[in-house]
């Protein structure tokens, strides 16, 4: 049975966009519950300005509260200051964020594309010297909410540069959920051809109800690592139109039905969805949830 790695991003991409302020202690508890279901990797926090993203305040407390041997934990860092804070907190893996367009970088992290490229490269180089794993996102990789369709050659070029700077993995992100499976096929075919599937991961949002279809398409292109978010939480506060992420329960359900191994206990995941609802104070859940719950009740 082939294994697919799920990188849970709900504690970061999900909670950053919620109106509820979830405390660092509750975020660490959520991460522990996620790991207890068998999830192997979690993006636990972002070391960003609390003025820009108040919901991520206390990222250092989240990292400090975790058993770092329990899973592959990473933290998002937007600049060198964030990197240094993550390192000081004890993070063993970081993710830098490079948006594929100039405007998106400015809106997200107040730097133009050229500066962001330099900063991301410097962080990846420093991480390598520090023995910290460095991963890179190439976000708005298909469509930018400000500049529209992103040319494929640009995504290939930025990915190439992130690997050259020392990224061990590049995650290609459809940040606003505007991609369709034929675009995914074209982009990931080109990416896999140049970089190989093993160093790439995919990140989809479900804005147009195509996240699962896009994940399937990336899987067909050979991708075996996906970001997803428990209960389908998510969105980027700086990217208009970004709705929830691909829900972890939808992804895992798809993968198990198609015969892939994830190591994740889907029944246990459903209980975490209920827990998330109590944290954020509203209904959450992927599109497969009603079916999963009825199957659970019948068993
Ligand atoms: N973490 C915490 N604080 C930070 C920081 C970081 N990584 N980087 C800068 N700051 C602080 C500075 O110390 C300064 O604080 P002060 O006002 O108390 O002096 C303030 O933020 C402004 O610093 P500056 O370097 O001028 O940053 P900026 O205003 O240009 O904002 C970012 C740049 C990157 C800090 C900000 O845009 C940000 O945090 N963006 C995150 C976006 C995000 O998380 N998007 C979703 C995930 S992709
Ligand atoms: Zn996202």
* CATH code for the domain in which residue 145 is found: 3.20.20.70
Number of independent structural domains in the chain = 1
| Region of residue 4 (phi > 0: left; psi between -120 and 50: alpha; otherwise: beta) | beta
Q: Considering all CA atoms of the chain, what is the largest pairwise distance in Å, rounded to the nearest integer?
A: 56
* CB-ligand 1 contact for 236 (6 Å cutoff): yes
* CB-ligand 1 contact for 46 (6 Å cutoff): yes
Q: Select which of 120, 144, 221, 236 is catalytic.
A: 236
Q: In percent, how much of the chain has pLDDT > 90? A: 94
Residue from 10, 48, 234 to probe ligand 1 pocket by mutation (most atoms less than 8 Å from CB) = 48
What are the C-alpha distances in Å from 9 to residues 149, 217, 238, 260, 274? 25, 20, 17, 20, 17
Give distance in angstroms: CA of 45 to centre of ligand 1: 15
* CB-ligand 1 contact for 97 (6 Å cutoff): yes
Instruction: Write the pLDDT tens digit of every residue in 109-130.
Output: 999 999 999 999 999 999 999 9
Instruction: Write the pLDDT tens digit of every residue in 150-209.
Output: 999 999 999 999 999 999 999 999 999 999 999 999 999 999 999 999 999 999 999 999
pLDDT of residue 243: 82
Sign (positive or negative) of CA dihedral 189, 194, 199, 204: negative
Q: In percent, how much of the chain has pLDDT > 70? A: 100
Range of the domain at 214: 5-298
Say if residue 24's pLDDT is above 90: yes
- Residue 144 annotated in active site: no
Give distance in angstroms: CA of 17 to centre of ligand 1: 17
pTM for the predicted model, two decimal places? 0.97
Q: What is the residue with the minimal CA distance to atom 43 of ligand 1?
A: 108
């Amino acid at each position: 049975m082939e294994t697919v790695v799920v990188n849970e991003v709900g504690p970061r991409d999900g909670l950053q966009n919620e109106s509820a302020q979830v405390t660092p202690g509750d975020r660490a508890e959520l991460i522990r519950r996620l790991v207890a279901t068998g999830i192997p990797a979690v993006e636990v926090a972002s070391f960003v300005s609390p003025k820009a993203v108040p919901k991520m305040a206390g990222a250092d407390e989240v990292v400090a509260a975790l058993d770092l041997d329990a899973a592959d934990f990473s933290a998002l860092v937007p600049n060198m200051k964030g990197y240094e804070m993550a390192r000081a907190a004890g993070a063993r893996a970081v993710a830098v964020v490079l948006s594929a367009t100039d405007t998106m970088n400015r809106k997200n992290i107040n730097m133009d594309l050229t500066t962001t490229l330099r900063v991301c490269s410097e962080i990846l180089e420093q991480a390598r010297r520090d023995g910290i794993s460095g991963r890179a996102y190439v976000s708005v990789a298909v469509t930018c909410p400000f500049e529209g369709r992103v040319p494929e050659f640009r995504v290939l070029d930025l990915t190439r540069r992130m690997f050259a700077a020392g990224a061990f993995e590049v995650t290609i992100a459809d940040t606003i959920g505007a991609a369709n499976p034929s675009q995914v096929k074209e982009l990931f075919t080109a990416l896999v051809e140049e970089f190989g599937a093993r160093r790439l991961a995919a990140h989809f949002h479900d804005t147009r109800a195509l996240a699962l279809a896009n994940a399937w398409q990336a899987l067909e292109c050979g991708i075996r690592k996906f970001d997803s978010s428990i209960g389908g939480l998510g969105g980027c506060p700086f990217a208009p139109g970004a709705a929830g992420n691909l829900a972890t329960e939808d992804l895992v359900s798809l993968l198990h039905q198609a015969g892939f191994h994830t190591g994740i206990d889907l029944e246990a995941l459903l209980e975490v969805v209920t827990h998330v609802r109590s944290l954020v104070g509203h209904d959450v859940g992927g599109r497969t949830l009603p079916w999963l719950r009825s199957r659970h009740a019948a068993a």
